[in-house]
Amino acid sequence: MKVWVIGLGGVTNGGKTTLAEKLKKVLPNCDIISQDDFFKPESEVETDERGFKLYDVLDALYMDEMVKSIHNWIKSPTSSGAGTEEPQNTCDNLKNTEDVYILIVEGFLLYNYEPLNELWNRRYFLTLPYEECKRRRSTRVYQPADTPGYFDGHVWPMYLKYKNELEENASNVVYLDGTKSQEELLSFVYSDTMQELKKLREGNQQVTA
């Protein structure tokens, strides 16, 4: 049994959660862990001098709990319920993938936390231009709600900061254009994943040959 851990990171409102859910439906033995599930309660999130709640930083998250959850899944993917649903795509690509368990970890701050970096088999990063990101963000309802100036004063600067860190320090990141349709993004990541799993299988066959 093999495991394959995919990181699906990037900009707020870039389509990470939607893409992860679509991938889960077409990939074999697939589970999702969402970083949003590890936010600290509002009372534990710092407030800056402008009154902005600092949600877009690592300190706003229980990152150690998130890492533990991923490790637990890697140790025992079959106990998670992965593979209980048949993938919708039953083409030949899925043959010989029954022994591979896939975890998609989706979130906005995946690649700037050292304990996570050793876990990825494949890393994707969704991007959006400023205007489109701001437009999408304005259509979403958050709890707590975005205060006036929050996007420009905190959300976007933090995205640029972490993206710059990623570009300076990380290699083998596949950048995805979040303005493309969900169908295009799904098609690309699905095909890329199946190619990577094929390489994984072939590598294992050579080792055991």
Concatenated DSSP letters of 7-59: EEEESTTSSHHHHHHHHHHHSTTEEEEEGGGGBPPGGGS-B-TTS-B--SSGG
Residue of 36, 37, 64, 99 marked active site: 36
- Measured CA distances, 86 to 14, 24, 26, 98, 188 (Å): 27, 10, 8, 11, 21
Contact (CB, 8 A) for 61 and 105? no
192 is catalytic: no
Q: State the DSSP H helix or E strand holding residue 124, giving kind and residue range, or none if neither.
A: strand 122-127
Contact (CB, 8 A) for 126 and 180? no
Structure tokens at 68: 């533990």
Ramachandran bin of 84, using left for φ above 0, alpha for ψ from -120 to 50, beta for the remaining angles: alpha
Which sequence positions are flagged as catalytic? 36
